[in-house]
Structure 1
């Protein structure tokens, strides 16, 4: 275990100061914010940087606001901030549902959206929700800013397109339409505070009666090296009356569309079965919520 006395930690007071630190390519730097994942990686000696850059106090990166380009969520916004946001409850409900499932209350208070994205775990609960909200990730360095669609951001388990001198500075998501409703489902090894065996996010557009779907986005986590957009399933949403029969038929296709592995937590076939079950359960719950709106 790494002792605190063996760690070098710096705490920049501004984004500019942080970017100057990251630009020093002679040192192995790693950012830390909430630290909910970093502590585990440190104990396992998987993350052993020369310097930890503690950005938790950079409040300029903690915000939720809306403008004509979309809803902007700062990378240091906590999961608790997301759950409590009226704007996100109204215009990005699937993200608030996902944030509620990120571990215990203490973890939600400490963990950040940027950290969940930056860790690039296929099990990250907020990431499927960001996929169905067409999120874009803004990356900044001393040399400029670029924006990457979320489906191009992850390149493998724990791997992203972030360069060593870059930091996530904004997450831009598409506001849901008034006819759109979302849901998030998760299966873990125990009822709460668990890493997902499978998770699922959906955001779909329904007519007033909820009988027909005009479009929809579906995404699975923990069933592939990165998040899987279930595009074959999405194409089926508009084929017929949106009811139990249709959702059951879509769930059968989901079994084939995911690509899980077997590991210590679950077999690949079990994950396929659960992906199918979560999709069907999630869409049925979504129908019920629409009826009660």
Structure 2
């Protein structure tokens, strides 16, 4: 299919977009930044009858806070996230991850909703959303439902989004004052490639100590979907996070991940790198904590 042969509509409101999604006679797919869509079209993987261009729906581009948490619109770009003072202060781990999503041009075009909708296990922002207990709001003409991120993905490239639904809001919890995050990524080229492995942590630390009193760890690109490292999380609470303890946790990480081998890396290499990224990430995180 040539670009000139593509059928595309550009709704002027969310309601108009939802109405277009109810047409079951033709297959459709939403497009915003289009950073992943172009690649998929070239590979002939995404070939809907109609593309629905939602880039102009400014009502879906925002970052704000209320009593229920931090709200991020699905059309919020990675650059918006990186520059947000609200997220820098209350969701630092998400800003660190967004800063590593490709080159500057990719960050300017790519959206958080697009990262979620693509559902790649290697998506850099997704592990951060896991440790921030994100809920994904899905809207159709007839209902709105909220899905915990742990239930949102059902496999590589697959989500629970129904054909007549779209992502309309992403809600995350704000980090506490004694909570600090980190993001680590391994890719063929620094900050401009798909992750071979990525790792995210957000820990609550007891004041003036190295004792973790609560923490969440997540890995990307080491399983069909993002995984929480639950055994490693339980170890965080056992002893102060000194060099010896961090090394012990890293050894357990090797056993928790379940990657595959592909053209980018072998399964064993990914397991080794998951362990190494966790170790490096926790060292860096504790260094930042001591310097706060």
What's the offset of the Cα at 1:4?
Answer: 1.8
What's the offset of the Cα at 1:210?
Answer: 3.4
Measured against aligned partners, the alpha-carbon deviations of 1:67-108 in whole angstroms (never above 9, x if no partner) come to 010000000000000000000000000000000000000000
How far, CA to CA, are the matches of 1:241 and 1:288 in structure 2?
13
Measured against aligned partners, the alpha-carbon deviations of 1:40-91 in whole angstroms (never above 9, x if no partner) come to 0011111111100000000000000000100000000000000000000000
Matched position secondary structure for 2:65: strand
How far, CA to CA, are the matches of 1:119 and 1:204 in structure 2?
28
How far, CA to CA, are the matches of 2:243 and 2:128 in structure 1?
23
What's the offset of the Cα at 1:211?
Answer: 1.6
How far, CA to CA, are the matches of 1:285 and 1:211 in structure 2?
13
Residue of structure 1 in register with 2:69 after alignment: 70
Q: What are the equivalent positions in structure 2 for 1:165-184 lying under 5 Å apart? A: 165-184=164-183
Matched position secondary structure for 2:192: coil
How far, CA to CA, are the matches of 1:190 and 1:58 in structure 2?
33
How far, CA to CA, are the matches of 2:120 and 2:65 in structure 1?
27
Residue of structure 2 in register with 1:8 after alignment: 7
Residue of structure 1 in register with 2:100 after alignment: 101
Matched position secondary structure for 2:181: strand
Residue of structure 1 in register with 2:41 after alignment: 42
Verify the 8 A CA contact 1:83 1:99 in the aligned structure 2: yes
Structure 2 alignment gaps of length 5 or more: none
- Deviating runs (4+, > 3 A) in structure 1? none
What's the offset of the Cα at 1:191?
Answer: 2.0
Q: What are the equivalent positions in structure 2 for 1:101-140 lying under 5 Å apart? A: 101-140=100-139
1:292 aligns with 2:284: no
What's the offset of the Cα at 1:192?
Answer: 3.0
Residue of structure 1 in register with 2:52 after alignment: 53
Count, aligned residues:
292
How far, CA to CA, are the matches of 1:134 and 1:231 in structure 2?
14
Measured against aligned partners, the alpha-carbon deviations of 1:17-40 in whole angstroms (never above 9, x if no partner) come to 000000111110000000000000
Residue of structure 2 in register with 1:251 after alignment: 250
CA RMSD of aligned residues (A): 0.6
Structure 1 alignment gaps of length 5 or more: none
Instruction: Compare 189-198 and 163-172 and name the one that shifted more.
Output: 189-198
Residue of structure 2 in register with 1:234 after alignment: 233
Matched position secondary structure for 2:89: helix
How far, CA to CA, are the matches of 2:247 and 2:279 in structure 1?
6
Verify the 8 A CA contact 2:219 2:228 in the aligned structure 1: yes
* TM-score, structure 2 as length reference: 0.99
Matched position secondary structure for 2:214: strand
Verify the 8 A CA contact 2:185 2:197 in the aligned structure 1: yes
Verify the 8 A CA contact 1:210 1:242 in the aligned structure 2: no
